[in-house]
A = this chain, B = another copy of it.
Amino acid sequence: MSTNSFGRLFTVTTWGESHGPALGATVDGCPPNIPLDASMLQKWLDKRKPGQNKYTTQRQEADEVEILSGVFEGKTTGTPIQLMIRNTDQRSKDYGDIMDKFRPGHADITYWQKYGIRDYRGGGRSSARETAARVAAGGVAREVLKALVPDLKITGYMVQMGADKIDREAIDLAQIEQNPFWTPDAAAADRWAEYLNGLRKSGNSVGAVIEVIASGAPAGLGAPVYAKIDTDIATAMMSINAVKGVEIGAGFGAAELTGEDNADEIFMGDDGLRYSSNHAGGILGGISTGQDLVCRFAVKPTSSILKTRKTVTKLGEETEIITKGRHDPCVGIRAVPVGEAMMACVILDHVLLHRGQVGKNQGKIG
C-alpha cells in the first residue's frame, strides 16, 4: 500500500520532487504486447510542459521522458514500466528568500508540520511538477486503451476562468487546440487572454474549472460500492494539485433538480440504448451506462504570487511575504492534460478490473 500509488490493476506510483534530479512514474499492470515508445508519451508531456506561452510558468523544462523498463523491442512486456523525466531547470536560488517563511495557501507549512523537512527550493513533492509523471503514465494508459477500447475518446477543456464561464451553446471542440486555454469557446479564449494578461502583470493569479469527457466507454465499468467509477474519477481529480472540487454529470446542479427533471429517460436507439439527457454523467450506481462520462473539477488560484501577504516564519514570527519565482498565473490551464491523463488511467483500470472480476458484461437489453 503505497500512498503514492493510484489504481487497482493498472497501478501508477509517482515519485520525485520539483527540484530533485528526476521525477517519474512506476506503471504496473500494463498488459503485454502493446506497442509503446517514448514518443507516444512525449506528445502528451509536450502539451502539459511549462513555458509554452506567457500564460504558464516560464520555467524551461524539456520534460523528456525515458522508458527504463517494461518495454522490449517496441512492445510492453507485462512487467513494470519505469518512466523517468530528468529535471533540468532547477533554479533554486529563486527560492532563497522564502526559506524560512510559509506561503499562505501553499503546502510548505503543512509539509513542515508533518515531516519536519522543508524542501524550500520549490514545492518539493507538493509541486505541480509531479503531474508530469501523471501525464506520462496517462500516455501509457491511452496506448492500452487504443487496443482494448478503440472507440474511446477523452477530451479535456477549460469551461471557466475566475467567474467567467464559457457559453455552452458556443462549444466547438475543434477550438480546443486553437487557444492557449484549451477551451472550446473562442470568445471566452479572447476574454480570458485579456483578463489573465492583466492578472499576470499585477503578479496575481486566478482559479479555473476544467471539464473532462470520455465518449465511447462501454457500459458496465465500476465496482460498487467503494470502487464506483464516479468515486474513482473524484479520487483521481481531487488528488491533482490545487483541485478543490469535483462533480459528475449535473454535479452540484443536481441538488437543485427534482427527481422528475433529473431523470435521464431511456429509449431504444438505432444501435442500442438512447437517453433523453445525461444528468447522470454516464454513471448510475457507480457503474457506467455507456453514455459520455462527464466530470468537472475546480482548480484554485496559484498560491505563489507577487502580492504581499501576511504570514509567519518557522520561528513563529509574524511577517509578510511576496513569492518571486516562475509561477503559473492560472495553473488550471496546465491541469487540462493532467485531468485527461487521470481519466485515461481510471478508465483503463476499470476495464481491466471488470475483465478480471466479471469477465464481460452479463446482461443484455433487447
Contact = CB atoms under 8 A, between A and B. Distances in A.
A149 to B, nearest CB: 13
A257 interface: yes
Contact of A207 (B16, B239, B262): B262
Nearest to A209: B255
Interface residues of A, number: 158
A300 interface: yes
Given A115-B363, A238-B248, A352-B357, 18 more contacts: A2-B11, A5-B226, A31-B358, A32-B358, A79-B224, A102-B266, A104-B263, A109-B289, A114-B363, A115-B358, A160-B255, A244-B255, A244-B281, A245-B247, A246-B246, A263-B303, A268-B312, A356-B357
Contact of A9 (B1, B161, B311): B1
Given A102-B266, A239-B228, A1 B11 contact: yes
B248 A245 contact: yes
A273 to B, nearest CB: 7
9 contacts: A2-B2, A17-B77, A32-B115, A32-B358, A77-B117, A126-B224, A161-B255, A245-B247, A250-B300
A346 B7 CA distance: 19
Interface string A242-271: 001111111111111111101111111000
Interface stretch (A22-30, A42-50, A56-64, A171-179): A22-30
A105 interface: yes
